[in-house]
Amino acid sequence: MEADAPGPSRVPGRRAVLLGGAALGLAGCRAGPAPAPSARQADPARVDALLAARSAAVLAGDKAGFLATVDPAEPGFLARQEELFGSLAALPLAGWAETVAELDGGLVTVRVAHRYRGFDTADEVRTGHLRVGPAGFTGDGGDGRADDAQIWSRGPVEAVTGAASLVVGSGPLRQIAALLDAAAPRVTAAVGPDWARKAVALVPVDGEHARALAGDRDLGEVVALATARPNADGSPGRPRILVSPETWPRLSALGRRVVLTHELTHIALDAGSDTTTPMWLVEGFADYVGYLGTSVPTRKAAAELAAEVKAGKLPDRLPDAAAFGTSAPRLSQSYQEAWLACRMIAETHGRAKLLALYRAARTLPEPEALKRVLGVEDLTPAWRAYLRAHLA
């Protein structure tokens, strides 16, 4: 809006001071009189140079260089940018690049790409907005132009790096890192060594932040989620474990171990980009690995399902994808049904066959995968008998 555009209060002198030392936007200018940029349309080359200077400053840990791209006449924005720099400086960034996606007057739509050292093999790309004036950046988007959520967009963040984990956000980062470090070898024992054997987890500040980071997906009672939100340019996003800060504190120590092992199993099997494997196999396998090595009694771990089975109500088929929706009425039972189906397969055919079934079902229709790997086309009768035997 016009009211936010650079106004007469930005005196030319300030601009000269800012540009003088940093050579921002001047590199590449041809000799001779350049047309003066209009007050409304920012000079694209200058915006490119400002963003390049910001990006280099982030990677160099150069706070002064970063803040030199901000108009000093905007103390509120300057303070927010100082806080942002503090957050970014706390992260093990191997890459950080802000570039122009679109320039509309003084509004810059920014492509923000980052990757974590030792964890990411490609960039995570999101969209942000900045306003630019003659003396540097003057503010963020405003006018309802919402930036994509980032873990640092709701206040200061820290990072904890473990043997197999990088945990970013605010809250019990160390605890989560330790649990992921302990879970990684268990996941490798279950799925084999052919995965990264480490993962990035994000701990947002509240449920709203978690929802935004999950791609506007309500986490409801979900404690953690393995995501791979597509990048702003449509390329595949980076796998992340998102921990719900509101439900996490309510979990027991055992629950936390099971949940993080479950999510790490999803990461190891690339579940975030998998749209073909049946959900009962995806969720059941992750819970199977999650519960491995724990001594929690089956009737306790599957309490809701056990109550139904005891009352004579046996499910007549494996849960479908809809049964795993966050607001599905029998969500707990669906997970328990899937877990016990996978446990039954592992006990009957061996763990290697369970993994082979998982991998086969990614490309084959379920009955064909079952027949090829286990020699049966329908698991239902054996599964129902197993539920009765363990829960009734």
Note whether 111 and 95 are within 8 A (CB).
no
State which residue, 110 or 243, has the beta carbon closest to Zn ion. 243
State which residue, 96 or 248, has the beta carbon closest to Zn ion. 248
State which residue, 18 or 225, has the beta carbon closest to Zn ion. 225
Q: In the complex, what is the shortest distance from the CB of residue 275 to Zn ion, in angstroms, rounded to a whole number?
A: 14
Using CB under 5 A, which residues numbered 286 to 315 contact Zn ion?
Answer: 286
Show contacts of 96-101: CB within 8 Å, 24+ apart: 96/55, 96/58, 96/59, 97/55, 97/123, 98/51, 98/54, 98/55, 98/128, 99/48, 99/51, 99/55, 100/44, 100/47, 100/48, 100/51, 101/127, 101/232
The contact pattern for Zn ion, residues 232-271, with x = CB under 5 A and - = no contact, is ----------------------------------------
Q: In the complex, what is the shortest distance from the CB of residue 221 to Zn ion, in angstroms, rounded to a whole number?
A: 13
Give the range of 82-90, 167-175, 182-190, 284-292 binding Zn ion by CB under 5 A: 284-292
Give the range of 13-21, 144-152, 283-291, 383-391 binding Zn ion by CB under 5 A: 283-291
State which residue, 286 or 355, has the beta carbon closest to Zn ion. 286
State which residue, 226 or 360, has the beta carbon closest to Zn ion. 226
Distance (Å, whole) CA 136 – CA 138: 6
Q: In the complex, what is the shortest distance from the CB of residue 273 to Zn ion, in angstroms, rounded to a whole number?
A: 14
Distance (Å, whole) CA 267 – CA 200: 10
Q: Could you tell me how many residues of this chain bind Zn ion (CB under 5 A)? A: 2
Q: In the complex, what is the shortest distance from the CB of residue 343 to Zn ion, in angstroms, rounded to a whole number?
A: 15
Note whether 66 and 85 are within 8 A (CB).
yes
Q: In the complex, what is the shortest distance from the CB of residue 358 to Zn ion, in angstroms, rounded to a whole number?
A: 13
Q: In the complex, what is the shortest distance from the CB of residue 283 to Zn ion, in angstroms, rounded to a whole number?
A: 5
Give the range of 74-82, 240-248, 277-285, 304-312 binding Zn ion by CB under 5 A: 277-285
State which residue, 190 or 286, has the beta carbon closest to Zn ion. 286
Q: In the complex, what is the shortest distance from the CB of residue 265 to Zn ion, in angstroms, rounded to a whole number?
A: 8
State which residue, 283 or 337, has the beta carbon closest to Zn ion. 283
| 206 Ramachandran zone, left/alpha/beta (phi>0; psi -120 to 50) | beta
Q: In the complex, what is the shortest distance from the CB of residue 379 to Zn ion, in angstroms, rounded to a whole number?
A: 20
Measured at the CA of 237, the angle between CA 84 and CA 57, to 5 degrees, comes to: 30
**Nearest one of 271, 281, 274, 242 to 259, comparing CA atoms:** 242
Q: In the complex, what is the shortest distance from the CB of residue 331 to Zn ion, in angstroms, rounded to a whole number?
A: 11
State which residue, 77 or 280, has the beta carbon closest to Zn ion. 280
Which DSSP symbol is given to 217?
-
Please name every residue paired with 112 in a beta bridge, in sequence order, or none if there are none.
98, 126
Please give the backbone phi and psi of residue 346, each rounded to the nearest 5 degrees, phi first.
Answer: -65, -40
- Total Cβ atoms within 10 A of residue 13: 9
Give the range of 63-71, 196-204, 239-247, 275-283 binding Zn ion by CB under 5 A: 275-283
Note whether 119 and 241 are within 8 A (CB).
no
Measured CA to CA in angstroms, residue 295 lies from 158, 254, 258, 288, 298 at distances of 34, 10, 12, 13, 9
State which residue, 110 or 281, has the beta carbon closest to Zn ion. 281
Please name every residue paired with 100 in a beta bridge, in sequence order, or none if there are none.
110
Q: In the complex, what is the shortest distance from the CB of residue 104 to Zn ion, in angstroms, rounded to a whole number?
A: 41
Note whether 179 and 257 are within 8 A (CB).
yes
Using CB under 5 A, which residues numbered 32 to 91 contact Zn ion?
Answer: none
State which residue, 77 or 285, has the beta carbon closest to Zn ion. 285
**Nearest one of 286, 318, 290 to 305, comparing CA atoms:** 318
Q: Is the dihedral of CA 276, 279, 284, 290 positive or negative?
A: positive
Q: Which residues bind Zn ion (CB under 5 A)?
A: 283, 286
